């Protein structure tokens, strides 16, 4: 039988002093998704006297202190999260809320106006030392930031232009959804490595899926055109798609192709699995099923919710689009 293990390391940014907790956590929750700007973690530590003495007398964990979370089984450990303490609670158990590199960008305010600028130039102005990965070739005109944090500026890009923005370790990704590559594939077998009755999955035929799509094409001068298609019933789920520099006819064609991808026959929802194999958003999950072989298929992972506590070590993978070479 394998044994769960955890290592949580807090580091004081001033003197480099560390406080390390080995297999002493009450609970850990890590949430990551390309849909969110910040990837987060919550660490709960039991309030026993020795721990309180460590915190209050030797090293008091505070906002801005670095945190590293490693989880695993037996001697196999994986770094699950690295970031900073964003806030702390003082009830029992002791609770520390943490964010990834995005937390640092919430501490700096900027004001800037570009008559015209490329997306990459905007990003390098906001984060001069950023390791920027796979930036779309997009040009903005009349782009203004007025006394906002760098994180809010990135949120503006995300919300107004349909871009996804997140850190992958120390690298910043800014582009369109499902365009980050090279993240790998993981296999889940319903009869072998998927806990029974823990997932929130539903298998649907494409004819039963009701979707309404709003497609938007944005031009360099910030003007845009829109086109809506799909189901018009009240129970249809709504999806907004962003494109750049498409004509009306091109926009309609792209929207029609995308809605075909969204109205697929297959699994929807979230799949809960054991702590291993490791997964992250953007990977592809290959779901295998001996009992229902026709339900075997590959899906993008949109988000991962990792929990570690007395009940076990689990990953809940939020499934996205069914993976095809056209996605």
H or E element in which residue 238 lies:
strand 237-244
Q: pLDDT per residue over 163-172, tens digit each?
A: 899 999 989 9
Confidence of residue 7 (pLDDT cuts 50, 70, 90): very high
Q: What is the predicted pLDDT for the residue at 9?
A: 94
Share of the chain above pLDDT 90, in %: 55
Query: Count H helices, E strands: the chain?
Result: 5, 21
d(CA 255, CA 157): 21
Q: What is the predicted pLDDT for the residue at 327?
A: 45
**What residues form DSSP beta bridges with 228?**
214
d(CA 202, CA 179): 26
Highest mean pLDDT of the ranges 40-54, 227-241, 261-275: 261-275
Q: What is the predicted pLDDT for the residue at 59?
A: 67
Q: pLDDT per residue over 8-38, tens digit each?
A: 999 988 877 888 899 989 999 999 999 999 9
d(CA 66, CA 99): 10
What pTM did the predictor assign?
A: 0.90
Contact 322, 295 (CB under 8 A): no
Q: What is the predicted pLDDT for the residue at 125?
A: 93
Q: What is the predicted pLDDT for the residue at 54?
A: 61
Q: pLDDT per residue over 172-206, tens digit each?
A: 998 888 888 889 999 999 999 999 888 899 999 99
- Residue 274 CB-density burial (10 A; 0-12 exposed, 13-18 middle, 19+ buried): middle
Q: What is the predicted pLDDT for the residue at 33?
A: 97
Q: pLDDT per residue over 207-224, tens digit each?
A: 898 999 899 988 877 788
Coil, strand or helix at 183: coil
Share of the chain above pLDDT 70, in %: 94
- Please give the structure tokens belonging to residue 151: 């994180």
Confidence of residue 50 (pLDDT cuts 50, 70, 90): low
Transcribe 281-308 into DSSP letters.
TT-EEEEE-SSSGGG-EEEEEEEEEEEE
When pLDDT is averaged across residues 69-76 and rounded to a whole number, the result is 95
Least confident among 116-120, 241-245, 290-294: 241-245
When pLDDT is averaged across residues 82-106 and rounded to a whole number, the result is 93
Q: What is the predicted pLDDT for the residue at 325?
A: 65
């Amino acid at each position: 039988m394998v044994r769960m293990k955890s290592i949580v390391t807090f580091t004081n940014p001033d003197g480099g002093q560390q406080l390390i907790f080995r297999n002493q956590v009450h609970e850990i929750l890590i949430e990551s998704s390309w849909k969110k700007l910040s990837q987060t973690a919550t660490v709960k530590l039991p309030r026993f006297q020795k721990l309180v003495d460590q915190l209050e007398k030797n090293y008091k964990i505070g906002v801005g202190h670095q945190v590293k979370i490693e989880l695993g089984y037996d001697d196999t450990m994986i770094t699950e999260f690295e970031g900073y303490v964003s806030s702390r609670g003082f009830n029992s158990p002791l609770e520390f809320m943490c964010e990834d590199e995005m937390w640092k960008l919430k501490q700096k305010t900027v004001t800037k106006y570009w008559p015209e600028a490329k997306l990459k130039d905007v990003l390098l102005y906001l984060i001069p030392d950023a390791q920027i990965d796979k930036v779309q070739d997009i040009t903005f005109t009349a782009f203004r930031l007025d006394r906002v944090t760098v994180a809010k500026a990135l949120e503006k890009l995300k919300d107004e232009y349909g871009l996804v923005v997140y850190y992958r370790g120390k690298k910043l990704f800014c582009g369109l959804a499902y365009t980050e590559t090279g993240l790998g594939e993981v296999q889940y077998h319903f009869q072998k490595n998927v806990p029974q009755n823990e997932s929130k999955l539903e298998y649907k035929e494409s004819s039963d899926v009701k979707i309404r799509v709003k497609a938007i094409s944005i031009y360099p001068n910030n003007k845009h055109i829109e086109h809506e298609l799909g189901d018009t019933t009240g129970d249809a789920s709504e999806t907004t798609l962003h494109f750049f520099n498409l004509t009306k006819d091109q926009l309609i064609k792209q929207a029609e192709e995308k809605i075909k991808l969204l109205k697929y026959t297959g699994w929807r929802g979230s799949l809960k699995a054991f702590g291993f194999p490791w997964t992250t958003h953007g990977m592809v999950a290959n779901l295998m099923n001996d009992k229902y072989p026709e339900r075997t298929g590959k899906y993008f992972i949109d988000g991962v919710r990792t929990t570690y506590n007395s009940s076990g070590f689990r990953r809940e993978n939020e499934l996205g689009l069914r993976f095809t070479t056209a996605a």
